[in-house]
Amino acid sequence: MKILVINGPNLNMLGIREPDIYGSGTYADLCRKITAWAGEMGLDVELFQSNHEGAIVDTIQAAYGVFDGILINPAAYTHTSVAILDALKAVSIPTVEVHISDVNEREEFRRHSFVSLAAKKTIAGCGFDGYRMGLVHLKEILS
């Protein structure tokens, strides 16, 4: 089972960026954890991070016919990107959305997610562990 993990803008700054909200773990730490969890679950993962909306759209399109599932933290694009929503709908690959912080308990503008309209499930506020939960859910729905 091939899973594409996409992280959006500023997630490469984890560990530096607002540690009171996102914790002290770095993006490299997150990648190590995802890779280890996927290995334990027998999943084949590929990791991608970009600060650019178009690059994320291109990567979702390129996943068509290649990946069985997508785990995505669209970061700020969650709340703005119809393009990412449309790309996910275009490829129709089962998708789980994840957020490190609890977006429902922060500013009002973070409560709306375009991406959730194409996601089978949204996990928020569980820190890095949300990615593990997302992989578990994808494995369940793809089995």
> Which 87-106 residues touch ligand DQA, going by CB under 6 A?
99-101, 103
Give which of 86, 22, 34 is closest to 56, Cα–Cα.
Answer: 86
Question: Alpha-carbon distance 105 to 18, whole Å?
Answer: 16
Residue 119 Cα to chain centre, angstroms: 10
Q: Which is nearer to ligand DQA, 2 or 110 (CB)?
A: 110
> Which 62-81 residues touch ligand DQA, going by CB under 6 A?
73, 75-76, 78
Q: Which is nearer to ligand DQA, 2 or 106 (CB)?
A: 106
Q: Is residue 15 left, alpha or beta, with left meaning phi > 0 and alpha meaning psi from -120 to 50?
A: left
Give the active site residues.
Answer: 22, 99
Binding site for ligand DQA (CB under 6 A): 10, 73, 75-76, 78, 99-101, 103, 110
